[in-house]
Amino acid sequence: AKRCGRNTIRFFDPTTHAAMEVRIGLEADLRTALLNNEFSLYYQIQTLDSGYITGAEALLRWHHPEQGLIAPVKFIPLTEEIGLITEIGYWTLETACIQLKAWADNPATAHLQLSVNVSPRQFHQDQFVEKVSAIITNTGIDASKLKLELTESLVLDDMNDTIKKMNRLKKMGVQFSLDDFGTGYSSLSYLTQLPLDQLKIDKSFVHNLTLKNADNVIVQTIIGMAITLGLDVIAEGVETAEQAAFLKANYCYHYQGYLFGKPVPLAEFEAALADMPPI
Ligand code: C2E
Ligand code: CA
Ligand code: CA
Ligand code: CA
């Protein structure tokens, strides 16, 4: 038992201890996961209101040898904390670019764009621009097909660094989407300072969209802002036809969500592509 303050004695908490052991186990497994080829990318369709598939978001999956598929929320924060996200992030980016190159070589898929999530720790690293540039060159992709998804907190973490890096990558043709938009800091003045291409409406707002709901105003405001700033706007987490109809009626024509398709392995994504209606 541990003495905390005057009359309190705090005993060792077994639930915390169990959680700690799980964490330490996962951490050790994560350190070898890359070497053991345990990561893969899933692809989630991004579609226009016509059903035309413009591209996908690449989402990381970990196939743990004993525990099976582990969702990113369960391991990405840990990789951020221990710094492993940088290495995993470059693996993700390179894998995504190799896939983009394969699509570019086939006329039926040459139009596809691929969105890749970038973690704050990786982005703010010294060599980020050089490394992304090397991956673009080595894979031979058209950089304008690559869309990097940045979050508001990443951007606001160090605005000067962010603007400099975005501008350098922008010169190569790289596209930028602001992910989870609306969940972070409400200051909008920073938006005009960033060379963005797209705002991505967070799924928490899309989730509550009904014909009469306060969140509607938020979504309408975000769409309006995107239009004013000349940016593309995409809604994530679209699950129902009603949500899609609301978005469309409010001038948002680009969607991602279970209504159109869940994140799936490459083969399933390519099967969905084969069923794509003409533009
Ligand atoms: P995110 O970037 O906001 O990705 C969207 C998440 O929403 C994905 O979860 C996706 O599966 C989920 N989603 C898509 N459509 C729907 C829908 O209609 N309804 C609902 N309820 N959910 C939907 P996922 O794949 O579990 O990823 C969770 C988070 O993990 C991502 O959120 C992102 O922050 C992070 N993440 C995933 N892959 C990577 C990666 O390669 N690098 C980094 N740095 N982070 C990643
Ligand atoms: Ca994302
Ligand atoms: Ca998101
Ligand atoms: Ca999110």
Distance from the CA of 202 to the center of ligand 2, in angstroms? 9
Say if ligand 1 is within 6 A of residue 71 CB.
yes
Residue 247: pLDDT band by 50, 70, 90 thresholds?
very high
Compute the distance from residue 202 Cα to the ligand 4 centre, in Å.
6
Do the Cβ atoms of 236 and 206 come closer than 8 Å?
Answer: yes
Nearest to 55 by CA among 45, 41, 69: 45
User: How long, in residues, is the chain?
Assistant: 279
pTM above 0.90, yes or no: yes
pLDDT in tens, 51-109: 999 999 999 999 999 999 999 999 999 999 999 999 999 999 999 999 999 999 999 99
d(C-alpha 33, C-alpha 26), whole Å: 10
Q: 28 with 238: CB under 8 angstroms?
A: no
Query: What does DSSP assign to residue 277?
Result: P
* pLDDT tens digits, 175-206: 999 998 888 765 677 888 999 999 999 999 99
Residue-averaged pLDDT of the chain: 90
198 near 232, Cβ under 8 Å?
yes
Instruction: Grade residue 17 by pLDDT with cuts at 50, 70 and 90.
Output: confident
Q: Check if 263 has its Cβ closer than 6 Å to any atom of ligand 1.
A: yes
Dihedral pair phi/psi, residue 271, rounded to 5°: -65, -40
| Residue 207, φ and ψ in degrees, nearest 5 | -55, -40
Measuring CA to CA, which residue among 79, 38, 74, 234 is closest to residue 149?
Answer: 234
In the reported structure, the alpha carbon of residue 140 is separated from the centroid of ligand 3 by a whole-number distance in angstroms of 27
Ligand nearest to the CA of residue 72, numbered in listed order? 1
Residue nearest to atom 30 of ligand 1 (CA): 72
Distances (CA, A) of 160 to 105, 134, 177, 190, 201: 37, 23, 18, 11, 24
- Percentage of the chain with pLDDT > 90? 76
185 lines ligand 1 (CB under 6 A): no
Range with lowest mean pLDDT among 29-33, 101-105, 130-134: 29-33
Asked if residues 194 and 162 have their Cβ atoms less than 8 Å apart, the reply is yes
Q: What pLDDT sits at residue 203?
A: 94
Which distant-in-sequence residues (6+ apart) come within 8 Å of 35 by Cβ? none
**Is the CB–ligand 1 distance for residue 180 below 6 Å?**
yes
Does any ligand 1 atom lie closer than 6 A to the CB of residue 119?
yes
Residue 92 Cα: closest atom of ligand 1: 41
Q: Is the pLDDT of residue 242 over 50?
A: yes
Which residue lies with its CA nearest to atom 35 of ligand 1?
A: 72
**Mutation test of ligand 1: which of 78, 91, 117, 208 has the most ligand atoms closer than 8 Å to its C-beta?**
117
